[in-house]
Chains A and B, each alone.
Chain A
Amino acid sequence: MANNTAQLQEKSHPMEDLLRMDRMPHIWCSGCGLGSAVTAFVEGLKKAGVSYDKTAIVSGIGCTGRVAGYLRLDSYHTTHGRAIPFATGLKLANRDLTVVVFSGDGDLFAIGGNHLIHAARRNVDINVICVNNFIYGMTGGQNAPTTPLGAYSSTAPFGNYEMPFNLVGLAAASGASYVARWTTMHARRLTDSIATAANKKGFCFIEIVSPCPTVFARKNKGGTGLDMLKEFQTRAIIDHDADPTTIPLNMDNEIVCGEFVNDDRPTFWENVQAGIKARLEKFANWEEMQSNSRKISHKKDRKYTSSRDSSIMRRNT
């Protein structure tokens, strides 16, 4: 930024406190929606009022996987598909953190699909932001689990033969507490959605439909990034009451956006606490039993626990 105007040197970009400015410019192509998604995320965090020091971001591999590297938070760039279990461990070991997984559709739904549905089932208190660009960008435009039927890609030269995943439907069906879908064009609503998710407990899933001008648009005659945004604008409708399982994304249907699920379910950790409490009340002297029953002791006044208790011990050791 050597030849900035004098005015600019006085005032810096308002997001510089949350971005790693020493790594800019980022690697994403011209017209890519990822930068807009990151802006929305940064604005959303500001709006949510969470402590930046207590926020961690975990990414997998791919174009979206690079998001972690550009955010000045505790950021982890992990292996392909394994961002969610990594984030689960991070969150459970330090429950004060706000943990956000920011990754792509290939990372979260192809190689990491199993982890996503299980994290949603457990309702671990993490937020998952999935940027869906319908294709594998970084490796050069191969088929993704979200590539619409009939769309072209490097590994589908005659058009894709496979039905794509409906990401919001899958997340909702797996039991996520909060499910939303926006495009990068819905900058303000997306920001609000991210802020809501940041303050919401439980598994929150936000799908961001993003243009990929370099590979998806090139192979499918989508034009530039701007053309894709305009197309999203014409196709997108907002319907918060839509059933997320009935709104898949195809080549030219409506992109139904909105907050589809906003429930309060007990999280994994709340269930753990409740379970332990119930059990401890039942066996209040557990720890005492534990140390007495299996000890090889030569003391004559050794206390024997009741037969019921010792059978429990036997089962547990």
Chain B
Amino acid sequence: MFKKSRLIGEYFMQGDIACAEGALAAGCRFFGGYPITPASEIAERMAMRLPLLRGVFIQYEDEIASIAGILGASWAGAKSMTATSGPGISLMTENIGLGMMMEAPCVVVNVQRGSPSTGLPTSWGQSDMMQARWGSHGDYGSISLVPNSPQEFFDLTITAFNFSEKYRLPVFIMADALVGHMTEKVVIPPVEELEIIDRKYTNKKPEDYLPYDYGKNLIPDFAKAGDGYRYHTTGLTHDKRGYPNMTFECQNELVPRLVNKIKNHVDDISLTEEYDIEGADVIVISYGITSRTILPAITMAKKKGIKIGYLRLKTVWPFPEEKIRKLSKKVAGFVVPEMNLGQISLEVERCAHNDSIVKLVPHPGGGIHKFEDVLHAIEEVAYGK
């Protein structure tokens, strides 16, 4: 009865539930969460499924406890996850920083709502994108994946676990209420067809083991609690032994490593989808649900004879800088429709520099872009130059 860890086959499934199933398929066996619209369904599904798989579900007293709890579970060797929305992420940011500093693998799902503050609890937005990158104080490399359908929510949850295990950090899944509450066909493949990566446990003896000794890939080997390694970890600036060390030298070794361990692996982490990029005049860059709601505008633009390309970001952070830089030399400009008042468009602007125009199509959330607005922006870029 306990053996059947996951469903296999085709299902008519809600996005949030697909996310929970994806986590279970990836091997998540610890969920700590706090109810929040529109992410509650993930917790509800986990509460139903995890106990039968000998996993642990715990509803904590708040989001701060949830993230602290999943970090603890991560150190005990479990793949752990929490799911929340914008206000919850705001509470979690301090401990997300702890996870980055301690290098504890876990997954944080943000089913975004209209923001700021309590905002639009039952509606959607994409206004937490910069928070996912810069939310916690200090410099660190971070990974954020953005799904645009329940199927992709399932797939990217598995990818998020793989990245978190591989690079040892909390990974964000930046869904939104529209994806989370959308019900669509989800195909769950058999176990053999999924690529599941587990963290690299150290093979050193306890007396030789240093918890933060890294190799060429800048990622230290993991040792879990209770295996006799008796290591120390801290949120303070620490040396290879994990001991606090308040010197410039130590800070200068640790913090750049936290950034570079992601920066050096952008090619591996960066997932994008491209259509008609070659020879395009205008490229529309979008991510998440926006990438689906603006499709009519692209079709219209094509009919009007504009050479239009379409780039969809599945990985928003780390930002595919090189790709955008190369493209910006070839095209007239980029159109960036997003459900915020300009966050990822700033990154595109930075990478496009002065080579091409970047046109933002803003939307405050709670609705979807009017396709005329997007079309207008595309025409402006295409004919303006």
Contacts and interface: CB of A to CB of B under 8 A. Distances in A.
Query: A and B: direct contact (Cβ < 8 Å)?
Result: yes
B167 interface: no
A89 B234 contact: no
B94 interface: yes
Interface stretch (A92-100, A161-169, A191-199, A215-223): A92-100
Nearest to B61: A118
A317 interface: yes
A10 interface: no
Given A20-B232, A295-B9, A317-B45, A86 B68 contact: yes
A17 to B, nearest CB: 10
Interface residues of B, number: 58
Given A78-B235, A295-B10, A276 B52 contact: yes
Contact of B78 (A72, A93, A297): A93
Nearest to A296: B10
Interface stretch (B117-125, B221-229, B285-293, B300-308): B221-229
B64 interface: yes
A86 B229 contact: no
A290 B72 contact: no
Q: What's the interface size class on A, roughly?
A: 35 or more
B243 A69 contact: yes
Nearest to B227: A53
Interface string B244-269: 10000000000000000000000000
B72 A87 contact: yes
A74 B69 contact: no
Interface string A1-42: 000000000000000000010110000000000000000000
Most buried by B among A73, A93, A296, A297: A93
Contacts of B94: 79
Interface in B1-54: 1, 4, 7, 9-14, 17, 29-30, 32, 44-45, 48, 51-52
Nearest to B58: A92
Contacts of A268: 58
Main SS class of interface, A: helix
B213 interface: no
Given A78-B98, A78-B235, A96-B226, A90 B75 contact: yes
A316 B44 CA distance: 8
Contacts of B102: 76
Nearest to A286: B52
Contact of B61 (A52, A87, A114): A114
Nearest to B30: A93
Contact of A56 (B17, B48, B226, B244): B226
Given A86-B72, A97-B225, A287-B52, A79 B95 contact: yes
A94 B64 contact: no
Interface in A36-93: 52-54, 56, 58, 68-69, 72-79, 82, 84-93
A271 B51 CA distance: 12
B80 interface: yes
B191 interface: no
A68 B232 contact: yes
A93 B236 contact: no
B226 A85 contact: no
Contact of A94 (B95, B224, B231): B224
B56 interface: yes
10 contacts: A69-B243, A72-B230, A76-B75, A86-B72, A89-B72, A90-B75, A92-B58, A93-B74, A287-B1, A297-B9
Q: Which A-B residue pairs are the 8 nearest by beta carbons?
A: A89-B72, A89-B69, A85-B65, A93-B76, A77-B234, A93-B73, A94-B76, A90-B72
Interface of B: 1, 4, 7, 9-14, 17, 29-30, 32, 44-45, 48, 51-52, 56, 58, 60-62, 64-66, 68-78, 80, 94-95, 98, 102, 185, 224-236, 243-244
